[in-house]
Structure 1
Amino acid sequence: MAIHPQLPNAITVARIPLAVVFFVLLLVGGSFGDPHLGVRLAAAILFIIAISTDWVDGYLARKHGIVSDFGKLWDPIADKLLTGSAFVGLAILGEIPWWMVVVILVREWGITLHRLIVRREHVVAAAWMGKVKTAVQGVALSWALLPMDVVVGFLPWLVITAVLMWIVVILTIASGIDYVVAQARGARASS
């Protein structure tokens, strides 16, 4: 069955307003001890649905041979908006440390800014390590957003969240270094 060639791009673009709605719900829902647990759960579910569309749009584009420069550029931007709003929201709520959020966002937006600058020369698609980092971020953030403390207890939830966030920070730094090295090699090879 053929799909509309713009469907993957439409899914990518839909993640942008979903990120805004998610962020508002997260802040309204507050931390787990707050009385708005249902809103927090709704925010977590919306995040999981939105982050899952990243896989869907990429799969559809590759399967139907409709990978576009628009998708290569905007897919990572939509991901950064969604995951960035989750990291910032969790830091505002005091559930993850701000220093981790700063490290992650500096890498994320630094590379995104570079992609925007060089887009006239060429579009930089996400590398495999960046894709692994994004997948791990999605899992870690989903865990942190869901009220899993009710299921496993607060201390195990806290420990698992901390371990997952450390893994995210390490992958974020490693994939950032990988990106810079790949771009430097590409620049040397083309000159």
Structure 2
Amino acid sequence: MNLPNKITILRVFMIPLFLIFFLVPNIPYGNLIAAIIFITASFTDFIDGYIARKYHLVTNFGKFADPLADKLLVSAALICFVQLQLVPAWIIIVIISREFIISGFRLVASDNGVVIAASYWGKFKTTSQMIMCILLIINLDYPFFNVLELVFTYLALALTVISLVDYLYKNRTVLSENK
């Protein structure tokens, strides 16, 4: 197993640690530690991809496990936000549903021999979701931060929908029966 794949697996193992520090009450600095774990795990996504591309270490396992690890990490945080009543469930359902739709769409595209690159809208969506997650994990109870959390939650929601529509529109021929 190569280094990028080991880093991806490490990201998956960081999820339970994140959950413990984020959800177990009365752990001193639990939210801060959870935020550091989340940020570190998110950063490993950049690192493993960079190493895999730079050193030509891209594998089928990595192509499968890397996006799965990302979705597991973000989905875990999003579901925690519902449990802790930080974000309404319907927003989280929309965000997670987009990920299922895109994953299914990529499977169909792959079966047709089509590789679909991430768009700028998708990158903006991911960035806004990561910032939203970090703000909600830290969850500073000050008016400025409460507004910032709200702004990034609705920005992430809007970019989630925009990136989905953009993705489906640009790749609409993938679902065509005339192939």
1:36 alignment partner in structure 2: 27
Unaligned 5+ runs, structure 2: none
Shift of 1:96: 1.4
Conserved? CA contact 1:73–1:124, under 8 Å: no
Aligned-pair distance for 1:36? 3.4
1:108: Cα distance to partner? 1.2
**1:41-82 deviations in Å (ceiling 9; x for gaps):** 211111111011111111112222333343333222111110
Unmatched segments (≥5 aa) in structure 1: 30-34
Structure 2 length normalisation: TM-score? 0.85
1:176 aligns with 2:164: yes
Aligned CA distance change for structure 1 residues 123 and 85 (closer, same or farther; 3 Å): farther
Q: Deviating runs (4+, > 6 A) in structure 1?
A: none
Distance 1:25 1:180, change over 3 A: same
CA apart distance, 1:185: 2.6
Q: Which residue of 2 aligns with 1:86?
A: 77
Q: Percent sequence identity over matched residues?
A: 35
1:54 to 45, 49, 56: 45
Classify 1:62/1:12 alpha carbon distance in 2 versus 1 (closer, same or farther; 3 Å).
same
Residue 32 of structure 1: aligned partner: none
CA RMSD across the alignment: 2.5
TM-score, normalised by the number of residues in structure 1: 0.80
Which of 54, 63, 75 lines up with 2:66 in the alignment? 75
Aligned to 2:123: 131
Map of 2:140 onto structure 1: 148
The separation in 1 between residues aligned to 2:90 and 2:111, in whole angstroms, is 33
Aligned to 1:112: 103
**Aligned 8 A contact 2:79 2:92 in 1:** yes
CA shift at 1:119, angstroms?
Answer: 4.7
Paired positions, count:
178
